[in-house]
Amino acid sequence: GEDVEQSLFLSVREGDSSVINCTYTDSSSTYLYWYKQEPGAGLQLLTYIFSNMDMKQDQRLTVLLNKKDKHLSLRIADTQTGDSAIYFCAEVFGGYQKVTFGTGTKLQVIP
Amino acid sequence: DGGITQSPKYLFRKEGQNVTLSCEQNLNHDAMYWYRQDPGQGLRLIYYSQIVNDFQKGDIAEGYSVSREKKESFPLTVTSAQKNPTAFYLCASSGQTSTDTQYFGPGTRLTVL
């Protein structure tokens, strides 16, 4: 079955870059998401990348996809305290939108 | 404003009682989903519905039930058969095509005492 893994915790200083990593096992996904969850709230879609792309940039966010290694990363440039949250990667498989979520990485930004 | 609402935000129930969580969307989405979130485990799919009057079990449907009588509404009932009901419950909706993003509600935190 599908399995999506993330490290549980990342701590960075304000102004530095953050890199959140994700590995997955099923290569048949159509695209991959990154979601952000602030405390006590729902998930907010940050960005997504189609499985036939290698990189996507969106303002401070850069997504890199290495299909050979089944590795996805999210880089946040100039990390701010408002970026403190849990970040989930997720695989989407065609059809009705079968989605498999990673375990989430809690990002702590130190002022 | 378009969006998904879940109510209440916090819910407390005694063990052995059934409880229903509300989810409403005005995005005109066909598909709706219920997820359960536990610390360190990510989100797990409970039930989903692709169209009115139809729904399917997800990965952890035991102890839960749903209905989809209206396009806008997808309530989830947590029954007394659910062994560990205390969790954060998230509702989502999406369009029908494979490129349509899932939009999430703010969640309901259920605590069973």
Map B10-48 to HEC letters: EEEECCCCCEEEEEEECCCCCEEEEEEECCCCCEEEEEE
Count of beta carbons in the 10 Å neighbourhood of residue B94: 24
More reliable by pLDDT, B95 or B45? B45
pLDDT band of residue B11 (cuts 50, 70, 90) is: very high
Residue B98 has a pLDDT of 59
pLDDT tier at B113, thresholds 50, 70, 90: confident
Q: Which of B34, B43, B93 to mutate to test the interface with A (most CBs of A within 10 A)?
A: B43
Chain A CB contacts of B111 under 8 Å are none
Average pLDDT, chain A: 89
pLDDT grade, residue A2 (50/70/90)? low
Instruction: Residue B11: name the closest of B111, B113, B84 by CA.
Output: B111
Chain B's closest residue to A41, CA to CA, is B106
Give yes or no for A97 touching B (CB within 8 A): yes
Q: Residue B48 has what pLDDT? A: 93
Does residue B107 register a pLDDT over 60? yes
Q: What pLDDT digit, counting tens, does each position of A58-92 carry?
A: 999 999 999 889 999 999 999 999 999 999 999 88
Half-sphere exposure of A11 (CA within 13 A, CB side): 2
How far is it, in rounded angstroms, from Cα B111 to Cα B113?
6
Mean pLDDT, to the nearest integer, of A29-50?
89
Share of chain A above pLDDT 90, in %: 58
Res A94: pLDDT: 63
Give yes or no for A1 touching B (CB within 8 A): no
Q: Is A102 close to B109, i.e. CB distance below 8 A?
A: no
B88 touches B34 (CB < 8 A):
no
What is the reported pLDDT for B4? 94
Look at residues A74, A20, A82 and name the one whose alpha carbon lies nearest to residue A48: A74
Position A57 confidence tier, pLDDT thresholds 50, 70, 90: very high
B1: Cβ–Cβ under 8 A, 6 or more apart, which residues? Answer: none
* DSSP line for B78-110: E-TT-S---EEEEEEEE-SSTTPPPEE---EEE
| pLDDT for res A27 | 75
